[in-house]
Structure 1
Amino acid sequence: MIDVLLIDDHGLVRTGIRMLLEGTGDFNVVAEAADGEEGIRLARQLAPDLVICDLHLPGMSGLEVTERLVRAKAGQKVMIVTMQEEGPLPRRLLHAGALGYVAKACAHEEFLRAAREVAQGRRYLSAEIAQRLALEPPGAEQSPFDLLSPRELEVVKMLCQGKRGADIAETLHLSPKTVSTHKQRLLDKLGVEDVVTLSRLASQHGIVA
């Protein structure tokens, strides 16, 4: 039996994953967490075999959760599930130590196959993600967006979608002041002065369509 910890801020998603996993008879979901801090605490307390974690969480991101769990050397295998298949994050998560990266839109069979592979210590990527990484041009790792934190990348995407600071703050469960700070920092890191230039740069590097 494979003991699993689920980390996702949507209760309905956690319920669906739990039912899918436990319906096989191979997995036992030992706990659920709605954010990264709680997830790390439960991982340390319960020592599950497998941690299935959403990439985008309130507060600490899935990348940060992965880095902290891997750094702790407690032996948990990490599989990331996400709606985001593009941009630099898949590569960064693999470098951080995640063994699996699958899209939430994948078929149930693929999700279970990924969970089993990762639990056995083998890497698994959704076919679309694996193909995208394989087709990345040489030097893709030099993208200026690699300088950004996962939270800053989220803010980039929303800014490029034309969302206002207040809307971004509400979506990410942050204060408007924090969003404004993220915005200024990411503009400084990327060396751009406004959202129009930011959108052009993001499009050039595949961050947004």
Structure 2
Amino acid sequence: MLVDDHAVVRAGVRRLLEQDERFSVVAEAETGERAYQIFGEHLPDITVLDLSMPGIGGMETIKRMIARYPTAKILVLSMHENAAFASQALKAGAKGYLAKSGLAEELSNAIQWVMTGQTYLGSEISHKIALQMHNTQGDPMQSLSAREFEIFRMLVDGVDLSSIATTLNISLKTVANYQTTIKQKLGINSPVEMVRLAIRCGLIES
């Protein structure tokens, strides 16, 4: 199953996959919500999923799918070439992470790897994670859970608490509690500090 909000990307990935007779695309979805709805109808061997989509987004989709279908194999295909995104996606339950820039060379290899139950990291991403592990300061994002990371990104994007609550289908009080926990874990107090930290961690452009 292919999950991406851009039809052009889905078509490109489908074309790439269908050149290989071992693969066939059984379903497509343009949002995480839709993917979650139709997963049970198709029970794909593997789901190739984008992180940046409208609605609940990729990270939350991974969490929900794995909670309902624990054996689901999910490979993230993302424009984010950042170690924090890859780490959080794996934490949420994905079995692989590939940057869209490495798509053509690595996709079939990544799918086969994940299908055998192993974890796959694209060459660029694994290099960045290795560098990060040697960085004495470490990555503050590693202290956050996958849900906290997703809420942190929404807050940085200027999404208000009630909209976050609606999108993630949780109460406003729960979102406020998450916000407090995130600030405590990251040692920040204001929205400005939050944005500065996101820039420093490479999550947004300065």
> TM over 0.5: same fold?
yes
Is 1:193 matched up with 2:170? Answer: no
Query: How far apart are residue 87 of structure 1 and its match?
Result: 5.1
Q: Is there any run of 5+ residues in structure 1 with no aligned partner, and where?
A: 159-164, 170-174
Question: 1:112 is aligned with what amino acid?
Answer: S
Distance 1:123 1:114, change over 3 A: same
Aligned to 1:57: 53
Matches within 5 A, 1:1-209: 5-73=1-69, 75-86=71-82, 88-136=84-132, 137=135, 140=138, 142-143=140-141, 146=144, 148-150=148-150, 152-153=152-153, 156=156, 158=157, 178=163, 189-190=182-183, 191-195=188-192, 197-208=193-204
Query: How far apart are residue 86 of structure 1 and its match?
Result: 1.5
Query: How far apart are residue 145 of structure 1 and its match?
Result: 7.2
Distance 1:76 1:144, change over 3 A: closer
Larger relative strand fraction = 1
Query: How far apart are residue 96 of structure 1 and its match?
Result: 2.0
The answer (yes or no) to whether the contact 1:88–1:145 under 8 Å persists in 2 is no
Larger relative helix fraction = 2
Query: How far apart are residue 38 of structure 1 and its match?
Result: 0.9
In structure 1, distance between residues paired with 2:121 and 2:86: 9
In structure 1, distance between residues paired with 2:45 and 2:28: 14
Q: Is there any run of 5+ residues in structure 2 with no aligned partner, and where?
A: 168-174
Distance 1:200 1:38, change over 3 A: closer
- SS where residue 101 of structure 2 aligns? coil
- SS where residue 30 of structure 1 aligns? coil
The answer (yes or no) to whether the contact 1:8–1:54 under 8 Å persists in 2 is yes
Query: How far apart are residue 142 of structure 1 and its match?
Result: 4.7
In structure 2, distance between residues paired with 1:61 and 1:73: 18
**Percentage of matched positions with identical amino acids:** 31
The answer (yes or no) to whether the contact 1:79–1:101 under 8 Å persists in 2 is yes
The answer (yes or no) to whether the contact 2:83–2:128 under 8 Å persists in 1 is no
